């Protein structure tokens, strides 16, 4: 297969207007000038994220999309100020710093979007 673009996450939404408000106002992802029918395409960190209308929104119990940030603690604090609630989970040998999972070279935090999809932000830690 000869892909002509980088892969992009696709997330279901039961309410596209509510999802648009979340992604634009909370995560500050701008709408792309290049839209696809049936959903909303956002420009994110040099890539794209497509949120589309679907009745199955929020039913997956796995991480649906993740991206890297420069300062995870700062991003977590900012999102919490905007009302985002982060989630932790039971994992063998996990080291948690509040809501941030610290795995040495990688730190991660999980939250849900307005449609109940599980999202993750990560930070690479250099020695």
Burial of 102 (0-12, 13-18, 19+ CB in 10 A): middle
What tens digit of pLDDT does each residue of 13-60 get? 999 999 999 999 999 999 999 888 889 999 999 999 999 999 999 899
What tens digit of pLDDT does each residue of 16-27 get? 999 999 999 999
For each of the domains in the chain, give its residue range(s) and CATH number, in order of start.
10-54+62-124 (3.10.180.10)
What tens digit of pLDDT does each residue of 84-106 get? 999 999 888 889 999 999 988 99
* Confidence (pTM): 0.90
Phi, psi of 16 (to 5 degrees): -65, -35
Mean pLDDT of the chain: 93
The CA distance from 1 to 106, in Å, is 31
């Amino acid at each position: 297969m000869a892909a002509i673009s980088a892969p992009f996450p696709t997330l279901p939404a039961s309410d596209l207007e509510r999802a648009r408000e979340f992604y634009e106002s909370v995560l500050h992802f701008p709408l792309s000038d290049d839209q696809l029918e049936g959903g909303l395409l956002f420009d994110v960190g040099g890539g794209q994220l497509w949120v589309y209308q679907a009745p199955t929104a929020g039913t997956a119990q796995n991480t649906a999309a993740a991206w890297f940030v420069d300062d995870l603690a700062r991003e977590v604090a900012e999102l919490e100020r905007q009302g985002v609630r982060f989630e932790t989970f039971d994992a063998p040998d996990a080291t948690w710093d509040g809501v941030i999972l610290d795995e040495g070279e990688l730190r991660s935090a999980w939250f849900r979007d307005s449609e109940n999809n599980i999202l993750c932000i990560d930070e690479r830690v250099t020695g």
